[in-house]
A and B are shown apart, each in its own frame.
Chain A
Amino acid sequence: EAGVAQSPRYKIIEKRQSVAFWCNPISGHATLYWYQQILGQGPKLLIQFQNNGVVDDSQLPKDRFSAERLKGVDSTLKIQPAKLEDSAVYLCASSLSTVAGELFFGEGSRLTVL
């Protein structure tokens, strides 16, 4: 079974530039999550989708971050304009059910903002 795919793995941009990350979840997983993991910290949920609807985006900085999940499969997370404090690993995860904790993570997209 293929895992959660993410791209790009690494991205370096200057502040105020924009960046987009892509995620393809495990086939059949209806729930998709984007997490932000800053160095030395645990992952923090940014947004959760159930199929193509948003379940929770309360911690998404909506002035600069946006995310969409078209057709209930792939998802894109965009940051525009980027700030220095956005430097982090952006993890995509998916799950088959909404049972707490049974998440399958991708390898992450590491963003460095200079």
Chain B
Amino acid sequence: QKEVEQDPGPLSVPEGAIVSLNCTYSNSAFQYFMWYRQYSRKGPELLMYTYSSGNKEDGRFTAQVDKSSKYISLFIRDSQPSDSATYLCAMSASTGANNLFFGTGTRLTVIP
């Protein structure tokens, strides 16, 4: 079983839709949860960072962590064509990035 599971998609939505991206994990020691956005032929960029359980909101983006279910989500409200990218979840049990586990990424396309 992989440490982190993520539906690879692809996911296509119309502009303005609410998007839900999800990851599940098996290691209950994970405490740090991240979402990275990766545009085509670019490196990943950190989008959201959450410690432990709960919600975090930043503009149109909301990250949600449910440690009891080992499930994390990223919601995008009022999706825009510029949101078209691959979204990678990542998580770690400690502060060292050598323990950072990435999902496979979900490819999102927002259609104008």
Contact = CB atoms under 8 A, between A and B. Distances in A.
Are A and B subunits of one complex? yes
B99 A100 contact: yes
Interface residues of B, number: 28
Interface residues of A, number: 28
A45 interface: yes
B32 interface: yes
Contacts of A45: 97-98, 100
Interface string A48-78: 1000000110100000000000000000000
Contact of A91 (B33, B43, B49, B96): B43
Interface in B52-106: 88, 90, 92, 94-105
A103 interface: yes
Contacts, number: 77
Contacts of B49: 101-102
A25 to B, nearest CB: 12
A42 B41 contact: no
Contact of A55 (B46, B90, B98, B104): B98
A105 to B, nearest CB: 3
A42 B90 contact: yes
Interface of B: 4, 6, 8, 32-34, 41-46, 49, 88, 90, 92, 94-105
29 contacts: A31-B97, A40-B105, A42-B90, A45-B100, A48-B96, A48-B98, A55-B98, A56-B96, A56-B98, A58-B98, A91-B43, A91-B44, A100-B95, A100-B96, A100-B97, A100-B100, A101-B33, A101-B34, A101-B49, A101-B90, A103-B44, A104-B45, A105-B43, A105-B45, A106-B43, A107-B41, A108-B41, A108-B42, A108-B43
